[in-house]
Amino acid sequence: MTANGEAAGGLGTGDGEALVALVGAPNAGKSVLFGRLTAEYADVSNYPGTTVETTAATVGSTRLTDTPGVHGISSFSEEERVTKEAVLEADAVVNVVDATQLDRDLFVTLQLLDMGVPTVVALNMMDELEADGVDVDVDALEAALGVPVVPTVAVTGSGVDELRDRLPEASAPASTPVDSYYDALPDAVEASRAEKTLLVEGDEPTARRVAARGLVADGGDAPLADAGAREAVYRERRSRVRSIVEAVEREAGPGRAAEQRLGDLLMRPMTGVPIAIGLLAAVFYVMGVVVAQRVVGYAEGVLFDRYYNPAVEAVVADLLPGGEWAAPVEFLLVNGNLGLLTITVQYVLGVLLPLVVAFYLMIGTLEDAGVLPRLAVLTDRGLSRIGLNGRAVVPLVVGVGCVTMAVISTRMVGSRRERLIATALLGLAIPCSAQIGVITGLLAGLGLAWWVGYLAVLLGVLGVAGVFLDRTLPGRAEPLIEQLPRLRVPRPGNVARKTANRSAAFLREAVPLFGATAAAVSTLDYVGALDAIVEGLRPLTAALGLPPSFGRVLVLGLIRRDFAAAGMTDMALSASQTFVGLIVVTLFVPCILTMAMILRERDARSALLVWVGSWVTAFTVGGAVAAALEVIA
């Protein structure tokens, strides 16, 4: 039996693998509960056709999938679309409900039951409910819903065994008040109860699915109820939620006031903005200074440059015999730009791994503390002017530490459109910390006016590019809809577990892609294609008033951005040439590692857009600046 069927019974016990989806609101504890139920993370991947991650694991005869956090089963966001597909495919659902947010989370619970999806409710965060001085009558809630309800505390494992035992009891009521709205649909529609509920609620992808199966008489269009039916269903469902909450929830003692006061401070502009700036400065310091400069600098400068790379080069030289065929193989394995056994391993273990771990530690801590949504709300108004919402503040700040990790963090931004805008801006006008270090040294000798000019140009490009992308990309910006979780002290074990599993999953997917990219670039280098690029750039560098050798600087920037800036330190350039050169290398295409991540996180078309857009912008802005400086001079 599947959720698409009409039966209201529990999870099947046949010989096939049962599909169970964890569904709930963001920050309800789904991922922690998933880890408790499965004892491991596995198969972390993007849902087909999306950039939204899902996690799945097999436990016995059950395939368990952790879906994105949502406030409804519909198609209003990419997360909702992914969750809806998982629900429609599942045999049963574990609906994770935040016990402290019953009035919010029971809307999804009732929607699942209206759809006829066999459900078990995990009433999570019972410890925090008790600390709030509130009590929920679990038996009364189970009777009101008509499905099993299991109180849990996912972070400690309390109730998880009972939840696992009661999973076969997953069920749904034989009928709900929404059944009466099916009359709003055309009589010829043949669809499951789940699909009929979604049709009444105006879900267009479901309508197209039903029409494509030929279940509409006379080849009619996709069947949808009018908007009035959807609003009526929503009002009725919210009314049921209020009635249930009033019946099962009661005050049991004094609650917590300190967390509420701190939460209020974070949301008031006068106090919240300074706190947010301090938190973002801490994120930048950890990512951009401690990790990107000190940890990565030690790993590259000492561990790899002094010990690992020379040892590997010696071993390869000893193992490979002489001959024409050995030369290209040796170059591919140990060349000084992107050798597969030397520089590529150095990037993965010495650069990428520390940044990945640090990033997930920082994000995991902010998530666990409930701070991340508040940062999004505080910065939403400003970022909305460049086509983004408040969730983009973290990628933009992380980008100043490492653009590669910032591209990964765009997953937390709203729609596919906003992720593309954030990715393009990161690849275009956000210098990474390694590049900033070299740029700072070059600008230090020019004076404060050049620093101000450099920042003004970058901010201007960032603003113009954001507005341009916002107005030209199809679709429209999605408003920030953020349910603020309660503030809490982060749990180190939970943060460490999420960091380890996310980092391992990321490296499993990223390493093969980066290895293939490095091999391709090394091949181009060996056959002289990179030198051809340098020669082809001569007219452009001349138009910028820069020497022909600047083309070599740009080619180095293809490999790593800081290599480009560092390459300028050995060139005899005037102050205006240095300024123009720094503008160009900052706006020039992202490094090879970032491009690999853009290709992985977005798609080939988006990567090409960023690539070509960076070339055009770098030389256009650089040429304009060069012309302006010549006029001023």
The binding site consists of 24-31, 38, 49-53, 66-69, 124-127
Residues tagged in the binding site annotation for GTP = 24-31, 49-53, 66-69, 124-127
Do 380 and 389 touch, CB atoms closer than 8 A?
yes
Lookup result for tokens 């699909």? 195
The half-sphere exposure of 136 on its side-chain side, counting CA atoms within 13 A, is 28
* CA atoms of 148 and 557, how far apart (whole Å): 59
Neighbours of 464 (CB within 10 A): 14
What is the rounded CA–CA span in Å between residue 37 and residue 160? 7
End-to-end CA distance of the chain: 78
**Shortest CA distance to 356 belongs to which of 287, 435, 297?**
287
**Residue 238 buriedness (CB in 10 A; 0-12 / 13-18 / 19+):** middle
CB 403, CB 426: distance < 8 Å: yes
Binding-site residue ranges for Mg(2+): 38
- List all residues 6 or more positions away from 261 whose beta carbon is below 8 Å from its beta carbon: none
The token pair at 168 is: 């076969």
Per the DSSP assignment, residues forming a β-bridge with 171 are 119
Asked if 192 and 35 touch (Cβ cutoff 8 Å), the reply is no
Q: How far, CA to CA in Å, does 393 sit from each of 262, 334, 379, 472, 578?
A: 21, 39, 7, 22, 30
Cα separation, 304 vs 295, whole angstroms = 12
Element (H, E) at 316: helix 309-319
β-partners of residue 22 are: 66, 94
Q: Which two tokens stand for residue 534?
A: 């340098």
153, 180 Cβ separation under 8 angstroms: no
Q: Is the dihedral of CA 434, 436, 440, 446 positive or negative?
A: positive
**Count of other CB atoms within 10 angstroms of residue 140:** 14
Residue type, 263: G
One-letter amino acid at 318 equals: D
H or E stretch covering 98: strand 92-98
